[in-house]
Structure 1
Amino acid sequence: MCILFVAVRQHPEYPLLIAANRDEFHNRPTQASAFWPEQPQILAGRDLQGGGTWMGVNRQGRIAALTNIRAPATFVADKPSRGHLVSHYLADTPPADYAQWLAQHRNDYNGYNLLFGDWQSLAVYNNHSNALTSLEPGIYGLSNADLHSPWPKTSQGVAALTAYCQRGDTDIETLFSLLRNDTQAEDAALPDTGVPKDWEKRLSSIFICSEEYGTRTSTLLLINRHHQLSWYERSFLPSGAVYNNVSQHLQISDYL
């Protein structure tokens, strides 16, 4: 499913800051983020079952990340993996107008939000509503509904990221702590997305921990005033214990 928190020109050091969790079944095979051997311009994790990825960057400075829309009543099992939308955009030659391509192919995929662009110009496309939203300077939370849905966990994360930016904090551990928040919503505040109430409760925290399904990775993407991109990823066991760390740094000024 996933959740994204995005700060656009809100931090004194980082014009762009993204903090994201990927939530998935623990038995779905996954590869930690790295540069892809066959497409070495792409830095991303890999979904080894469906193909593609949930979040990534490339050496040209493009960025993409995906959240699924939780709408079980409209889910069609044999549609292609939405992760291909991210890797498609990060490949060498995406369509010149990717938003138009997404709109033309919106019914080919189950529900999703796609964040895409570069550090100077990001947008979110929602295929359920066929809506494209450009991200103006501000702080955003995007979970498994549209960009403007004030779910409790998105509101919590936006508040925490706002405080981080206002302090001018540069400690990445603070951001990882934001993503580690396992506070579940009160029953009265739970959204009604069509899944059983026990699942609504389980999915209502930023960090999800359970034996079969939960937060698999936390990822930070930071671009500073010198156009240096930093990428940090932590992977988790079903218990919530960290079992892998990734750190990569790119200079993107040559690609502006």
Structure 2
Amino acid sequence: MCIGVFLWQSHPLYPFLLFLNRDEYHYRETEALRWWEDGETLGGRDLVGGGTWLGCNRHGRIAFLTNFRETSSIPDAKSRGHLPLRFLQSQKSPVEFAEEIEKEVSLYNGFNLVVAHVFSKSMIYITNRPRDGEKLVTLVSPGIHVLSNANLDSPWPKCLRLKDGFSQLLTLNQGGEFPVKTMMEEVMIDTVKDQEPELPHVYPPETEYHLSSIFVNIPRPAGSYGTRSISALTIKSLGEVCFYEKHLDQDGSWKEHTQHFVIQNQSFT
């Protein structure tokens, strides 16, 4: 379970700004934010599935993923974490990539995937669990959006809280650069939980209650589960990228990682 809030193509200095919490079992082996072996891809890595939940590359490509909350699963399903990686390492436009993925969504358990190219101003949302009457593939409009474990911009209480808090921070910090790390910590470490009537009622109420906060921490029989990393990814109008991650290490300590670079070939590639 994860949650993210992002600003897309609606600010003069920041065409893209994302805060994202990744929730996972604490024992699941994970590699912190770093450049991958190809020298082009930047992100954390799930060492079990081999993919990523959030990444970008040197050419302005962005991809991030959340699981869809559901009670059933497909035996031997393909790893969802490879979907962001495939886009980041491809030459396809977001639309072309979405058309490719649309043909194979039945091979995966429920997912939400956002892929974008910042300089073509193209962002696409792909899900294999669309609302009734809606499409698998949707163009994302400029503005503020929240993605958790239901469809994009679903009105779950914690999604509404996150959007409201993020919007207030944008208003308070108008003009010039954002204090991104401070803003991220203001909204992404929120442990407020919802009461039973407000819960999505997909899982049992006691589980839903603990998952209803933005920052999650749950003791489970299989081991501790909760927010393993908190990320901030910003891209400025001149192609300056800052990728910050606060990561829960295997020894139980929180460690910080930051990468800065400037996007190459600032056209669609």
Moved more, 161-170 or 42-51: 161-170
**Residues 117 and 255 (structure 1 numbering): CA distance in 2 closer, same or farther, change over 3 Å?**
same
Distance 2:68 2:231 in 1: 20
Alignment of 1:232 onto 2:244: yes
Aligned-residue offset at 1:226: 2.0
Distance 2:266 2:183 in 1: 30
Aligned-residue offset at 1:77: 3.8
Alignment of 1:138 onto 2:143: yes
The residue that corresponds to 1:222 in the other structure is: 234
2:172 partner amino acid: R
The residue that corresponds to 2:77 in the other structure is: 79
Structure 2 residue runs of 5 or longer lacking an equivalent are: none
Tell me the SS of whatever aligns to 2:22: strand
Assess if the C-alpha contact under 8 Å between 1:142 and 1:154 holds in 2: yes
Deviations 1:127-162 (A, max 9, x none): 122522212111111100111310011111111111
Deviations 1:64-106 (A, max 9, x none): 0001001113x12421210000111111445881111111001
The residue that corresponds to 2:8 in the other structure is: 8
Aligned-residue offset at 1:196: 1.5
Distance 2:54 2:19 in 1: 11
Aligned-residue offset at 1:213: 0.5
The residue that corresponds to 1:128 in the other structure is: 129
Q: How does 1:27-176 map to 2 (within 5 A)?
A: 27-37=27-37, 39-73=38-72, 75-93=73-91, 97-119=96-118, 120-129=121-130, 130-168=135-173, 170-172=178-180, 173-176=182-185
Assess if the C-alpha contact under 8 Å between 1:12 and 1:168 holds in 2: no
2:192 partner amino acid: T
Moved more, 207-216 or 20-29: 207-216
TM-score, length basis structure 1: 0.92
Distance 1:103 1:225 in 2: 31
2:84 partner amino acid: V
Distance 2:193 2:18 in 1: 22
Distance 2:114 2:69 in 1: 17
Aligned-residue offset at 1:21: 0.5
Distance 2:185 2:117 in 1: 23
Aligned counterpart in structure 2 of residue 201 of structure 1, from 206, 209, 221? 209
Aligned-residue offset at 1:198: 0.9
Deviations 1:146-199 (A, max 9, x none): 113100111111111111222335112122221111111122111111x11111
Assess if the C-alpha contact under 8 Å between 2:27 and 2:250 holds in 1: no
**Residues 231 and 62 (structure 1 numbering): CA distance in 2 closer, same or farther, change over 3 Å?**
same
Assess if the C-alpha contact under 8 Å between 1:112 and 1:128 holds in 2: yes
**Residues 7 and 242 (structure 1 numbering): CA distance in 2 closer, same or farther, change over 3 Å?**
farther
Corresponding pairs, count: 252
Aligned-residue offset at 1:255: 3.1
Alignment of 1:180 onto 2:186: no
The residue that corresponds to 1:243 in the other structure is: 254
1:132 partner amino acid: V
1:184 partner amino acid: K
Assess if the C-alpha contact under 8 Å between 1:210 and 1:238 holds in 2: no
Structure 1 residue runs of 5 or longer lacking an equivalent are: none
Distance 1:9 1:89 in 2: 20
Give the CA RMSD over aligned residues.
Answer: 1.9
Assess if the C-alpha contact under 8 Å between 1:234 and 1:244 holds in 2: yes
